Structure formats: structure tokens, C-alpha cells
Amino acid sequence: MSRRYGKDLPLVHRDRGSGTVLAVGLVSVLATLLLAGAMVAAVAVAGQRARTAADLAALAAVAESSTGASQEPACEVARDVALRNGADLVRCRTTLGDAGRPRAEVVVRTTAGGRWTVTRRAAAGAVPGPSAVQVEPAAVLGPGGP
């Protein structure tokens, strides 16, 4: 007669090793969740780095333009600032806004984890539109109210 393994053993002994399988499964799920969380954090950090690089590059381009430099030197300064902040300058444009005040618009790109690309835009300088803003005076209310 052939006997199958565990046929005559109590139920407790037949489940031997199932805890190990369960533990391996739980560790695998937790490791996957941890890796996914790390990837999300890396993209968030890259986004902040790109935003900072774009803001600083735009400010640097405006500062260089305000000295009377043309677009090319201003964009070179912006490129240098972006590189120092871990991003690549994709596009740069400087113009003269209202009343001859310089304005710069830049786009920078950086990578997260070597796989994802994060792009941010920034502008600095003169605000486009009318240079004089007209404000209506507020109504003065007396003690009796409106």
C-alpha cells in the first residue's frame, strides 16, 4: 500500500511551511509598495528641483537683460543657472516689456530616476499689459451705513 505524505498526520502538521509562503508574499507586497513610493518621491523631488531651476534661471536672465545685454548672453546666464540647479534649459526668450523693462520666459527639463522627465516653465520681469493700473477709490460710508 502506498501512503501519501501527511495523510495520517494531524492538521497542524500538514500546514507546515505555509507561514513561510505567507511571509514571503507579504514581504514582496511591502517591497513593491516601498519601491512605488520611492519612485513617486523621486518624481516629486525632481519637480521641485525643476521649478526652482526655472524660477532662478528666469530671474538670472532678467537680471542679465537689465544690464543691457541682448537675448543671447541673458539666455547663456539662464542656461548656466539651470545647469547648476540640476536642470537643462530647453527654451529661453527675453523681451522688453512695458516701459522698457526686461522680461524673460524659460523652460527647463530634468529627469527623475533616469526614467521620467519633468518640465517646468517660469517667467520673471515686467508683467505684460498696461503699465498703469487704475484703481477706483473706495466708497466712504458714514455712521448711518450704506
Q: Which segments of the chain are extended strands (E)?
A: 88-96, 102-112, 116-125
Average pLDDT score over the chain: 79
- pLDDT at residue 141, as a whole number: 45
Instruction: State how far the Cα of 144 lies from the Cα of 73, in Å rounded to an integer.
Output: 62
Give the model confidence (pLDDT) of 103-143 as tens digits: 888 888 888 877 788 889 998 886 655 544 444 444 444 45
DSSP 3-state assignment of 27? helix
Could you tell me the pLDDT band of residue 145, with boundaries at 50, 70 and 90?
Answer: very low
What ranges make up the beta strands (E) of 7-114?
A: 88-96, 102-112
* pLDDT tens digits along 14-73: 666 778 888 999 999 999 999 999 988 988 888 898 999 999 999 999 988 887 767 788
Q: Where are the domains of the chain?
A: 20-125
